[in-house]
Amino acid sequence: MISGSFAFYRPHTIAEAVAMLATHGDAARLVAGGHSLIPMMKLRMAMPDHLIDVGGIADLKGIKRDGSDWLIGALTTQAELIADQALAAGLPVLRETALQIADPQVRNCGTLGGNIANGDPGNDMPAVMLCLNARFEVTGPGGKRSIPARGFYHGAYVTSLAQDEIVTAVRIAALPPGSAAAYEKLKRKVGDYATAAAAVALGLQDGKINFCSIALTNLAPTPLWAEAAGQALIGRAPGAESFALAGRLAEEITDPSSDARGPAAYRTKMGGVMVRRALARAALAAKT
């Protein structure tokens, strides 16, 4: 439980950090809150020679509105997400999800950027990002680009982010009026990854579902956007039958591993249960 040796850097600007990544190549890793990377380093599953701490880069912080979009700096901690009152009022699902991540000590360190960019299928925010169709703002040696969350995750710890790029912010469009989102997570205890979790967003018009997006956490090597499950509910009345249908369709795209949280078949079923419960809660919130 002691990491290998490494050189430590603390740049102050995004450009400086990008330059360090370019210099050290694959031997370098970025660290923000460190709550995924440092345990892996202690287990020697990750052994970077160069550790670049982005914690001193002021440009990566802050929660802002850009038109109707939310623009959240990558270095925003889970605790800051929870404490931001404007965000809690405008996009409460982020606060709700952040509260389900680990414990207060971890949330004081862990960042949104780290949670989404590490590519760990156990992280909670990626599914929320898929559900809300977020975009990740990225800076590399060639400048800035914006990558849609849907399409960012390719495998466990494999993402569209190039080795020399940094996620600087997350952009999320506001939900349409009459809609609400919810995150349901089944876990064994505080601090655990999800046995299964579901992020949903749902809109109602005239008593019918007019918009629905569903995503799943920790039920495959990547977070999953259950597009068909969401689409199937368009035009239907909210209720147990519709939510059960979405749950079944969501179960079909899962590919979980069997682990101490349960065998794959159980975890798949729990994906369905989480979808049903999240939809029921979102529908209730959308009505009110």
Residues of this chain that bind other proteins (CB under 8 A) = 1-2, 4-5, 44, 103, 186, 188-193, 195, 259-263, 266-267, 269-270, 273
Q: Which helix (H) or strand (E) holds 81?
A: helix 78-83
User: Shortest Cβ distance from residue 121 to other proteins (Å)?
Assistant: 15
- For the chain, what is the largest distance between any 2 Cα atoms, rounded to a whole number of angstroms? 61
CB-nearer residue toward other proteins: 4 or 239? 4
Q: How far is the CB of 130 from other proteins (least distance, A)?
A: 23
Token pair for 155:
């495998």
Instruction: For the beta carbon of residue 82, count every other beta carbon within 10 angstroms.
Output: 18
- Give the nearer residue to other proteins in terms of CB position, either 121 or 203: 121
DSSP letter at 259 equals: B
What is the Cβ-side half-sphere exposure of residue 182, based on CA atoms within 13 angstroms? 19
Toward other proteins, which CB reaches closer, 232 or 270? 270
Smallest distance from the beta carbon of 262 to other proteins, in angstroms? 3
Do the bridges between strand 7-9 and strand 208-217 make them parallel or antiparallel, or are there none, so unpaired?
Answer: unpaired
For residue 166, the cross-strand partners are 139
Identify which of residues 50 and 267 has a Cβ nearer to other proteins in the complex. Answer: 267
Nearer to other proteins by C-beta: 5 or 85?
Answer: 5
Cα gap 156→116, rounded to integer Å: 12
Query: Are the beta carbons of 261 and 268 closer than 8 angstroms?
Result: no
Q: Give CA–CA dist 10/242, Å, rounded.
A: 51
Q: How far is the CB of 211 from other proteins (least distance, A)?
A: 27
Instruction: Provide, rounded to whole angstroms, the least separation between the CB of residue 163 and other proteins.
Output: 25
